Structure formats: structure tokens, C-alpha cells
Chains A and B, each alone.
Chain A
């Protein structure tokens, strides 16, 4: 009874999936040995995240098999990587896809292929179960993330006007998923100021509205509203018109999609293959990775675009690509904290917390009884300069972040330390493209997106922000453009030389 010496249960854990060492090796361009073998493929895909895997899926689906996908990490999936323990599978980052609207043609095609969309019906068990989201504010939980309790008449008025404005923007058809479909030069002015400035000009900046709009920017872009282009802020709200109560989600998040993609194209994927040089050789390309030189006619560069100047011989440095650093953690709970009269939700957010809250990996279980779970904790380091936050990520040890996470959760779960047995933490220095002011209409970005050479770019950052649908769209488009240029080329052939 509290009179014994205070001692918390030991919590195990470590940093996982660190990749900055490899990133720094690339940046410094040092320590790579010359290739010892040659492999020939018509197409080499660089990067095994959603963009790269979508290129592979598209090529394979069109009957084209003379390609290889090179992934730097042990595990493909990029931001959609997942983990698994004795309790459940869980996501490492991306954990849902909003129910795609009619304009997301390729995503719908993928989901039909994966059995998520059948005869126009979304598979019920892949839609997020009730209750979906909850927000902790003023000492209690409410259903939904948009604040609904304790609003002043001014807050209500601002929310209503925001909704009206969003409705107008949606009706223009210029804000779509994927963004390229609707992008119109008539909206360029919105890319010239920050979302925060736009909201202020519209007098939609009460404390509560400000929290909510900032939360949305942190959630989708890893940035505050003042570091987000107004165009992107509006895109967040206006681009989606779900036809079903979603989103789509799985215990392992978008890792489920990666698993299904790997079932289809896994045999083309080479993991632990860090590409360190791409150069033009006559009419073709040479791609160096590990001990192999891949000779190809085309490269689909699906890795984050900021890496390209370090890899592609003769490529000019890039200026318009900025990325938000993130930290995610998976917490193993071998008992559930007291939930004070609310049903645990899929996504739990705490107002006034600098973090984005947590997602419950067992929420999508079909079981009725759950007594252990895994929470995925999300923290976009949105305040301050990305470079400084990246330094912070690197400099602080696991214990520092563990304590920061537990402190944050203790606000709403005072007994959290008695429930958690393990915290694994993933640090992602360049987690998401940040759609800062000017990023959407950046000439650099738009030129790379429609590059006509033998290197085609496919990462989601070519849309200015990192979401699943954009990655998938870019990946599929790059594959289609390659296919149109290699028409007639058939199945694969690989020659090896000692």
C-alpha cells in the first residue's frame, strides 16, 4: 500500500529498424567495394516501400517479369513495415488507408485484387471497427477526434465555416486523391501561404480549432499548420469523400497490404541490397548494390527522392524536398489499463499533448475477449527545425524516449507503467515529405514527377506529401510509363558472370 519503496516494474525494449547509419554512409559516399557480378534486367526498382512494391505489382499484373526490386533494409515495406509478437501483429508506421473515393482508380484496383473490395462492397472486417476514434479533453474521453464538448459559440461557428469552406473546395474537384488528378494552376495562390495564415485570415483560429487543424497537419504531414502549405491543409480535408465508414485498417496496419503484395511479387524483391550508385552507361543504366552491378534499361527510383542526388551520377542537388522526422513506438501491454467508463477505441488522441496518441493493434481482432495488446504510439516531431529534431532523435538514448512516452501516456492512463512490459522504438529521420509553403507547385517537384529519361521517379514525396494512395499512384504510373516504352519486351533473363 504505497508505503514500500517506490519501484516500477522493469520495462524492456530497444531501438529497432535504425537506418540512419546506412543513410549517412550514402551521404558520405564512402566504403563501397566494387561489384563482383553482373545481373541484367530491363527494369530495376530502387526501394521496397509502397511505391516500389506498387510498381512491381503493376509490372507483374501486366505480365512483365524482367525486373528486380532492390530494398536497402532487411524487411521491405518502408513506412508500412510491421512487426509481430506473441500477442498480435502491429504496424511500425502507416496503419490505415481512408476508404478510397472513385478517383483513386489504382487503389481500388489494388483492393479488388486483394479482396478488400468485392462487387462494389468493402469487406467489413477490414473496415475499422466501432468505436473508431476518441479524444481526451477536459479530463474525459469523447467519441471522435474533432472536439465536440466544451465548445464556445465562436468555436462552433468557426468549425461550421471551416466545413462550409471545405465543402466549396471539394466541389471544385481540384482537391483529389491522388492529387495529380485534380491539381490546377488556379489554386496556386493557396500554395503561397501557410495553412495557419490562411486560417487566421479566415478568422478560424480559436484555441480549439487551432488545436484541431494543427493535429491534422501533424498527423498527415508531420508538420504544424504554420509549416504546412494552405493548399495541403485544405487537401487534407477536401480531398476525401468516403463512401463507407472507414478507414480500412488491419492489426499490422498497412503492413497487411505489404504482406499481400509480397505474396504476389516477393520473388522479385532482393532485401539488404542498398543501392549506392546509379550511372548512365551508353543507352542503359548501371545500378551498383552490394557486390552486384545491375544493368538495366530503366530504373524506377521509388526510394525517397532526396536520396537521388547522392546516388545518381551527375544529378544536381535538390532544394524543395523537406522531410519531417518521426518517432514511433510499440508498447506491449500484458494487462489493460483502467478505462474509466469508455470503450477502448482504435485510435486514442490526447488534446494538448505534443504527440499523436496511440493505436490499438488488437482493435481489429474478431475476438470478443482481449486482455493483452500492443499499442503503436505516434510522435511527429513537428515543432522546430527538422534538422534539429533529427539530431535530437539521434542524441537521446532509448531511456529518454521511453520516459517521454510514458509521461505522455500517464496523463490519461495513470496506471500505464503497471501495464507495459516492453517498448520498442523506431526513429525515422526522414519519415514524411513535408508539404511546406510552395512545395505543391514546386517546379523541381513537378519536373521530377514527369521526368522523361531512363530514370523514373515514383516516391510519394513527388506529390509533396507521404500518404499511401500517393505512393501507390506514383508507383503504378512509373510502371505504366516504363511499360509503354518497353512494349513487346517479354519475360525475364538474368545473366551472371563471375
Chain B
């Protein structure tokens, strides 16, 4: 605003004409500013640049308003009245706007429509000025036509604001959103682009239908194929039924117990046609028993024994989820392992979150288990890691179920080799009273994002 006021001295002629144009520009630029910013955030890297540019342009224009206005009306009134009138309405207007904006406009109209509304007010001021200063203006008609055109433009913007925000949000998720629901526990979003379906839980990608088979085959088969005569399997997390789909490839398995917190999640993956096609209706198998419960108390209070335990939780992004990656949790889970049983744990990326991956492995060790870490490449995730844990030695399986697309007997040994950039790091274990994992995970991802 200071820049605008300073620049006002260089405007000598055509004050009224220029004032009308300043109002018009403010109306259009200000009106579309927040829509532009939303779209810029979703589609470009230039959000901050645009934001500062808009602030400077709008500020300059606003700074020009008052000096010009005072000069326009100085011949009509005494100087003291000019100052009194202009500043009175300036301050009152500022008060009104600063109250209206947070209390009424943003909560009820949203940022995009509020900006449009203010733009309309500016254009109306311009239109009004063409009547007030008609004598000082040369091309009144042309100005009025421009005003009306701009009013229409802003009016359309106001009406279409919802579509602008949706367009922006759609692009944040990249693909078309086909399902979105807030459950008691999380925000579930499904997106689709051509034949690729993606699941996001509270904004974190869980799978892409194009390459999830790599993740789920790698999660299940290296472990389960190494268990002699498995009959009972426990899945903790995995409410999408994709791990269960892989487990059902072993006909000798008699029962699969799946414990997932969110009933909406398991219901969605039991009923939505697109999703049941993906998990091959795994939840409808009579062998599968779904329990909707918090995993730690469930593991703590149950006594059933299992030959294979799959631990597939969301990444440890907060201390609540971090409890499911502690020595206390793994001890409680391991009590359910049969003598020959194996456990496999989703362990984040050994590439992007190397500290976290080796922290999880160390935690399993400190819980009294032998650990056998491995990793796979899942294009939509990048390098991803798992840890097989057990009371006994683990030996690579010599046969696998038919029809796998990724895991093969010949390819298995390579999964257990870690190149130097993912090799073990010394990490303390994650414990309930000292959740180092959540801090490490936070730091790992901070280090690779900006």
C-alpha cells in the first residue's frame, strides 16, 4: 500500500478515469486471486511466487485508491473535510471488512467466493464512480460496458467457485475421486485414473491397483510359503482384503482372522464392486473372520495361536500408531505364534526412511525375535521393506503358490540383500515410553521433502 501511495504522485492527469480503472483492476485481480491461488497450489510449483506477486499488485492498487480519491474531491470540499470524510469511511470500511471476513464470509462462503464477492463490490464502486465523476470522464459509456462485463465475469466465478475448489482438490489427489468418506477413525479416499484405483487413508497412499500385487505378494509369500503346514493365519490391519486374497492361495489354510479398526473399511472392501474385483471377494470367503477392533488390546487379551501373523499397519506417523510398532506390541503379538510360526511386519521404506526401517527391525529383535529383513520395489511406493520375525531360524521357501506375478523362488534371495544405500543402521528400539520411531520417521521424511 505504501508503494501505491508513493506512486500516486506520478499520476497527474485523468484522475477520475484512472481511479475507475484502479477499482476495476482491484475487482478482477482481487476477485479471482484466491481461485488463482488454489489452482496454482494444485497445478504448479509457483504458489508462493504468485501469492507474493498478488499481494504486491493488490497492495499497490489499494495504496493508490485513497490519495487519488482525495485529490479528485479536493475541489468540492475544504481540505479538512476531505481528510475527515475519506479517512472516516476508509477506517469504517476496514473495520467492517476485517470483521465480516473471518466471522461471516470465510465460514459461510469460503475463501474463493469471499474474494469474488469483494471483487464485485470493487467493480460496483467503479460503476458508481462513473456516475459520480461523469463530468470528469471522457468515455463514460465504454467504462460502464467494461464494468458490466467484469461483473458478469465475477458473477460466473461466484457461481462456479465450488467447481474451482473441486478442480484444485482433484488435482492434489491427481486422479478423479470416486469415493470419499470420513469415518470415525480416518478419511477414506478412492481415486481412479483409467484402470488404476488408488486408496488413500487420511491422505496417505495405501495402494495403487496397478502394482499392489507386488506389495501384497511380497508381504505374504516369502513368509507364509516358509511355514510348514500352516492352518491358521492372523492379519492385523489390512482392511482392504488384499493380503487375505494372497493368503487364500494356500488351500491348506483353514481360517484367517483379520483384525482391523475401521468397520467402514472392511465393509467397503466387502461390498464395492470395483474393490471386491480387486481383492477377489476375499472377505466373502467362509475361511475369513473379520473383527473390527483396536489391534493392541485385541492382541493383548486374546490367546489364540497362529501359524502366520501379518502385521500391516499404516506408517508410524504419530504416537498413537507408533504404539503398534513397540517392543511391548511385538511381544504381545509374538505370544500368538505357534512353534513353527512366522510373523511379517510392514516396515516402511528402507530407502526413504532408512532409520525407521532399521528401528523397526531392532524393535523386533529387542522383543526377543530373530529378524529377517527384506525389500521389494513397488513403483507407486518406491523401495519398500518388510521384516520376517520368528522364534526360529527362517529358511527361504522352495516352492510358491501357482500364478504369482512378482515373487518367484529364483528371485527370493535377492530380496534379502540390501545394497549399501539401504544397509543396516544402528538404531535404538521403539518403546512405549520412548517412541524413537515416530521421531525418526518424521525426520526421515523431512529430510527428503522440502
Q: Which residues of A contact B (CB under 8 A)?
A: 1-2, 124-125, 127-132, 244-246, 343, 365-371
Residue of B261, B318, B326 near A124 (CB, 8 A) is B326
B interface residues, Cβ below 8 angstroms from A = 103, 107-108, 184-185, 261, 294-297, 300, 318-324, 326-328, 431-435, 438
Q: Which of A127, A128, A131, A367 has the most CB of B within 10 A?
A: A367
In the complex formed, the residue of B with least CB distance to A345 is B319
Beta-carbon contact of A244 and B261 below 8 Å: no
Q: Contact between B319 and A124 (Cβ–Cβ < 8 Å)?
A: no
Do residues B432 and A124 form an inter-chain contact, with CB atoms below 8 A? yes
Whether A368 touches B295, Cβ cut-off 8 Å, given contacts A1-B107, A130-B319, is yes
Cα distance A245–B435 in the bound complex, in angstroms: 11
By beta carbon, the residue of chain A nearest B328 is A124
Residues of chain A lying within 8 A (CB to CB) of residue B261: 368-369
Cβ–Cβ contact A368 & B432, under 8 A:
no
Instruction: Say how far B185's CB is from chain A's closest CB, in angstroms.
Output: 6
C-alpha gap A370/B107 in the complex (Å): 28
CA distance A246 to B433 in the complex (A): 7
B184 touches A371 (CB 8 A): yes
How far is it, in angstroms, between the C-alpha of A127 and the C-alpha of B327 when the chains are bound?
13
List 20 A-B residue pairs with CB atoms under 8 Å apart, sorted by A's residue number.
A1-B107, A124-B328, A125-B432, A127-B432, A127-B433, A129-B432, A129-B435, A130-B432, A132-B433, A245-B434, A366-B294, A366-B300, A366-B323, A367-B294, A368-B294, A368-B296, A368-B320, A369-B185, A369-B294, A369-B320
Contact A130 B297 (CB under 8 A): no
Minimum-distance CB pairs A-B, first 4: A127-B433, A130-B435, A366-B296, A124-B328
The answer, among B108, B185, B297, for a CB contact under 8 Å with A366, is B297
Nearest B residue to A367, CB-CB:
B294
> A252 → chain B, closest Cβ, in Å?
17
Contacts of B326 in A (CB 8 A): 124
Q: How far is the CA of A466 from the CA of B184 in the complex (A)?
A: 43
Cα separation A371 to B320 with both chains bound (whole Å): 12
- Chain B contacts for A246, CB-based, 8 A: 433
Report whether B328 and A125 are in contact in the complex, using a CB–CB cutoff of 8 Å. yes
Secondary structure at chain B's binding surface: helix, strand, loop or mixed? helix
Among B300, B328, B433, the one with the most A-chain Cβ atoms within 10 Å of its Cβ is B433
A residues near B103, Cβ cutoff 8 Å: 2
Contact of B433 among A2, A245, A367, A369 (CB under 8 A): A245
Residues of chain A within 8 A (CB-CB) of B438 are 130
Taking A124-B326, A129-B433, A366-B297 as known contacts, 17 extra A-B pairs with beta carbons closer than 8 A to each other, sorted by chain A number, are A124-B327, A124-B328, A124-B431, A127-B432, A128-B433, A129-B432, A129-B435, A130-B319, A130-B322, A130-B435, A131-B319, A131-B435, A366-B294, A366-B323, A368-B261, A368-B296, A371-B184
Contact partners of B108 in chain A: CB under 8 A: 1
The minimal Cβ–Cβ distance linking A122 to chain B, given in whole angstroms, is 8
Given the complex, which residues of A lie within 8 Å of B433, measured CB to CB?
Answer: 124, 127-130, 132, 244-246
Docked complex Cα distance between A366 and B432 (Å): 9
Chain B nearest CB from A141 CB (Å) reads 14
Rounded to whole Å, the gap between the CB of A245 and the closest CB of chain B is 5
Q: Write the nearest CB–CB distance from B103 to chain A, whole angstroms.
A: 8
CA distance A366 to B433 in the complex (A): 12
Hey, which chain A residues are within 8 Å of B320, CB to CB?
343, 368-370
**Nearest-CB residue, chain B, relative to A128:** B433
Q: How far is the CA of A51 from the CA of B432 in the complex (A)?
A: 30
Q: How far is the CB of A255 from chain B (nearest CB, A)?
A: 20
Nearest CB of B to A97, in Å: 14
- Complex interface: chain B residues within 8 A of A125 (CB): 328, 432
Q: Which residues of A contact B184 (CB under 8 A)?
A: 369, 371
- Among A128, A129, A131, chain B packs the most CB atoms within 10 A around the CB of A129
Smallest CB gap from A99: residue in B: B433
Determine how close the nearest CB of chain B comes to the CB of A215; give it in whole angstroms.
22
Whole-angstrom distance between the Cβ of A95 and the nearest chain B Cβ: 16
CB-contact partner of A130 in B185, B300, B328, B434, under 8 A: B434
Q: Which residues of the other chain, B, contact A132 by a CB distance below 8 angstroms?
A: 433
Residues of A within 8 A of B324 (CB): 368
By a CB distance below 8 angstroms, the chain B residues around A130 are: 319, 322, 432-435, 438
With A124-B432, A245-B434 known as contacts, the answer to whether A367 contacts B328 (CB < 8 A) is no
Interface pair B432/A367, CB less than 8 Å apart: no
Q: How many whole Å from A493's CB to the nearest CB in chain B? A: 43
Taking a contact as CB atoms under 8 Å apart, the answer to whether B296 and A367 are in contact is: yes
Closest-by-CB residue of B relative to A247 is: B433
- With CB as the reference atom, state the residue of chain A lying closest to B430: A130
Which chain B residues border A2 with CB–CB below 8 Å?
Answer: 103
Task: Determine which residue in A1, A130, A370, A371 has the highest number of CB atoms from chain B within 10 A of its CB, and name it.
Answer: A130
Question: Nearest Cβ distance between residue B440 and chain A, in whole angstroms?
Answer: 12
CA–CA, A124 and B322, complex, Å = 14
In the bound complex, how far is the Cα of B300 from the Cα of A366, in angstroms?
A: 9
A343 to B323 alpha-carbon distance, docked (Å): 13
Question: Complex formed: what's the CA distance from A128 to B433 in Å?
Answer: 5
User: Closest residue to A127 on the B side, CB-wise?
Assistant: B433
How distant is A344 from chain B, measured CB to nearest CB, in Å? 9
Cross-chain contact B319 with A129 (CB below 8 angstroms): yes
| Chain B positions within 8 Å of A1 at CB level | 107-108
Contact of B319 among A127, A343, A365 (CB under 8 A): A343
CB distance from A191 to the nearest CB of B (A): 35
The CA-CA distance from A246 to B294 in the complex, in Å, is 25
Chain B CB count within 10 A is highest, among A245, A366, A367, A371, for A366
**Given known A-B contacts A129-B433, A367-B297, A368-B295, A343 and B318 have beta carbons under 8 A apart:** yes
In the bound assembly, the distance between CA atoms of A54 and B103 in angstroms comes to 59
Instruction: Tell me which residues across on chain B come within 8 A of A131, comparing CB atoms.
Output: 319, 435
On chain A, the residues within 8 Å of B318 by CB distance are 343
In the assembled complex, which residues on chain A have CB atoms less than 8 Å from the CB atom of B323?
A: 129, 366, 368
Q: Which chain B residue shows the least CB distance to A129? A: B432
Query: Given the complex of chains A and B, what is the CA–CA distance between A460 and B108 in angstroms?
Result: 60
Are B435 and A368 in touch, CB under 8 angstroms?
Answer: no
Closest residue of chain B to A132 (Cβ to Cβ) is B433
The interface residues of chain B lying within 8 Å CB-to-CB of A124 are 326-328, 431-433
In angstroms, Cα B28 to Cα A252, docked, is 61
Complex Cα distance, B299 from A202, in Å, reads 54
Shortest beta-carbon distance, A345 to chain B, in Å? 9
Chain B residues closer than 8 Å to A245, beta-carbon distance: 433-434
Nearest CB of chain A from residue B104's CB, rounded to whole Å: 8
Q: Whose C-beta in chain A lies nearest to the C-beta of B321?
A: A368
Residues of A within 8 A of B300 (CB): 366
Q: Which residues of A contact B319 (CB under 8 A)?
A: 129-131, 343
B446 to chain A, nearest CB (A): 15
Bound Cα distance from A365 to B328, whole angstroms = 13
Q: Give chain A residues whose Cβ lies under 8 Å from the Cβ of B432.
A: 124-125, 127, 129-130
Question: Which B residue's beta carbon lies closest to that of A343?
Answer: B319
The residue in B103, B296, B318 that gathers the most chain A C-beta atoms within 10 A of its C-beta is: B296
Q: Could you say which residues of chain B place their CB within 8 Å of the CB of A366?
A: 294, 296-297, 300, 323
CA distance A130 to B319 in the complex (A): 7
Residues on B with beta carbons closer than 8 Å to the beta carbon of A129:
319, 323, 432-433, 435
CB-CB nearest in chain A for B295? A368
